Every structure is written in structure tokens, then in C-alpha cells.
Amino acid sequence: MDLSVDFAGVLLKNPITTASGTFSARESGEFYDISELGAVITKGVASEPWSGNPTPRIAEVYGGMLNAVGLQNPGVEAFIKEELPYLKQTGTPVIANVAGRTVEEYCSVAERLSETEVAMMEINISCPNVKEGGIGFGTDPKMAAAVTKAVKKVSRKPVIIKLTPNVTDIAEIARAVEAEGADGISLINTLLGMKIDVQRKKPVLANIMGGFSGPAVKPVAVRMVYQVRRAVQVPIIGLGGIMTGEDAAEFIMAGADAVSVGTAALVNPTAPVDILRELKQYMREQGFKTIGEIHEAFMK
């Protein structure tokens, strides 16, 4: 059985990666051997440190969670100095997730990361609280295309664009970023959600709204991966609510080349490796020899 996938020219030994923001090298590494994974996707880094949103930043909802972490991060230099060497030593390919408030910020991080050992970059144009001209980059095909174009110009690593599900037509955005040279697409980021505590009579998040993730969002994620697969040729990282190996297989059938495990790793710290094991078992049971065969078996 061969689980390897060629993702935009980078060889991953299996399709399981960690979703940005739900993985921390040292802390996750205390629960499992991260070198078992196909790749790790780090939490978003910006050009400067960001302090994120006020707390509470986390709330639980039926079958999922809301977060308003607000991309707290120590900045790209700290990432390169403190996180990357540790990750490198594990031998796992690193996909660095990139945050920004302006096209220039994205570019400066991408340029800086191009000088490092990261294998690829995942550009997060889909964080609910990053705004330009009143609309997030990820909700407007023109702005999504503009970011892609600018980042591609300065980047010497494959560029994956991470899309938000909070849009009317996901295929349109996917086509727009592919047209500007995106080497891959990942989706979905979080849905925009909100919860009110009716005892305290106020929103559970200090930020009022937040990103909604977990198994509750999976049907939306699978649908969007399926739609994007039909719209573009570039490889796809599928994510959103993956909790089991069969969930991973579901995304692959829908059209994903690789998958990320997010909220599941908060619910169960060893989820990424557990899901890898379950995926292998599923493939054995079904007689699948490669990841490609899973997708090919899908009957629309």
C-alpha cells in the first residue's frame, strides 16, 4: 500500500496534515510522533507579532466549536528562529500558514519564508477578521486573485491558497486563484458563527462572532471540495470536520489530494495519527493500493 501523494511537486508520504491553528510542534509532539504525518501545517504567521483577540476566544457549539483567536502569532522572524528548526529536525515537510492584513504583508512573509526550509506556503486569505475595503480577501474573486498574483511573484515555494466557505460561489474564487498561478488550494477555513449565552445574555465570544469548525461543518466542506474539484486542476487539501479515517477518505473521494485534521486534534490530541491509522485500515478493507484509487472509485 502506497499512501504517498505528490502535492504541487512536493512528495508527502501520506495525505494527512495538521490544520493551521490547531497544531503546535512541541505541544502536539508531546502526544505523538509528528514525523508520521505527511506534512504539518503551522499556525498562521504574519510579518510582525499579533496579539490576537480578547478572551474568551473559544466556545463550544453542538458538534463543533467557535474560535476568535484572531491569528495571535509571534511574527515570521520568531517562527523562523524558534519553531522551524525544531520542526526541521523531525524531518516532516513543513507547510507554513501565512497571515496578512494587506497584500504587502502577505508578500513580505512569503518572501521571507522563501529563504527557509519550508516545503510550501498556505496563504490564509480567509480569516473572518482580516478585512480590506470592508470585505475579506477570500470573499471577493478579484481580491483573492490579486493576493495570489502578488504572492506568486515573490515566492520561490509552491503557494497554496486557503479559501473561506463564507461565499456564494466557491468555484468562482477557486478559478480566480488558479488563474493567477496558485499551486494548490486548501479548503475550508471556518464558517462564520455566533453563539449567545442566554443565561448571561451576551455572546460567548468576546469578539461576538468567530470561526466555526468541527464535525458539524463537514457537509459544507465536502460539498465545497467536490465543487472546487470540478472547477480547477490544481491539487486540493480538503478539511473541515475530519474526525476519522473514513472522513478523510470521504474528502479524498470528493476530490482532495491531501487532508488536514483541525478541531479533531483539540478533541483528541493524537487525532492526526489515529486518523492516519484508520485511513490505512479503510484502504486495506477496501483493497485500495493508492490514494488515487480512492478518488477514482467514487461514483457520481
Which residue stretch of 1-9, 67-75, 119-127, 221-229 sits at the interface with another protein (rule: CB under 8 A)?
67-75
Q: Is 26 exposed, middle or buried (0-12, 13-18, 19+ CB in 10 A)?
A: exposed
Q: Which of 112, 119, 138 is nearest to 48 (CA)?
A: 112
Name the DSSP letter for residue 141.
H
| Residue 31, beta-bridge partner list | none
For residue 189, say whether it is annotated as part of any ligand binding site.
Answer: yes
Q: Nearer to ligand FMN by C-beta: 113 or 239?
A: 239
Between helix 170-179 and helix 141-154 the angle, nearest 10°, is: 30
- Per the CB < 8 A criterion, the answer to whether 272 and 294 are in contact is no
Residues 38, 256: Cα–Cα separation, whole Å: 14
- Per the CB < 8 A criterion, the answer to whether 300 and 17 are in contact is no
Interface residues with ligand FMN (CB under 6 A) are 19-22, 43-44, 67, 69, 71, 97, 124, 162, 189-190, 211, 213-214, 217, 239-242, 262-264
Q: Minimum Å distance from CB 135 to its own copies?
A: 8
Q: Minimum Å distance from CB 235 to another protein?
A: 26
Q: Which of 13, 36, 48, 58 binds another protein (CB under 8 A)?
A: 58
Question: What is the amino acid identity at position 101?
Answer: R
- Residue 55 binds what, of its own copies, another protein, ligand FMN, none (CB under 5 to 8 Å, by partner type)? another protein
- Answer yes or no whether residue 26 interacts with another protein by CB under 8 A: yes
Residues 132, 143: Cα–Cα separation, whole Å: 9
Cα dihedral 162, 170, 183, 48 in deg (nearest 10): -30
Q: Minimum Å distance from CB 81 to its own copies?
A: 37
- Residue 11 binds what, of ligand FMN, another protein, its own copies, none (CB under 5 to 8 Å, by partner type)? none
Residues 294, 269: Cα–Cα separation, whole Å: 26
Name the DSSP letter for residue 300.
-
Q: Which of 54, 59, 27 is nearest to 43 (CA)?
A: 27
Q: Minimum Å distance from CB 35 to another protein?
A: 14
For residue 69, say whether it is annotated as part of any ligand binding site.
Answer: yes
- Answer yes or no whether residue 67 interacts with another protein by CB under 8 A: yes
Secondary element (H or E) of residue 121? strand 120-124
Interface residues with its own copies (CB under 8 A) are 61-64, 66, 135, 139, 166-169, 191-196, 198, 201-203, 208-209, 212, 215-220, 222-223, 226, 241, 246, 249-250, 253-254, 282, 297-300
Of 201-220, binders to another protein (CB under 8 A) are 214-215
Q: Minimum Å distance from CB 204 to its own copies?
A: 10
For residue 263, say whether it is annotated as part of any ligand binding site.
Answer: yes
Name the DSSP letter for residue 139.
G
Q: Which residues are annotated as a binding site for FMN?
A: 20, 43-44, 97, 124, 162, 188, 214, 240-241, 262-263
Q: Which residues are catalytic?
A: 127
Residue stretches of the annotated binding site: 20, 43-44, 67-71, 97, 124, 162, 188-190, 214, 240-241, 262-263
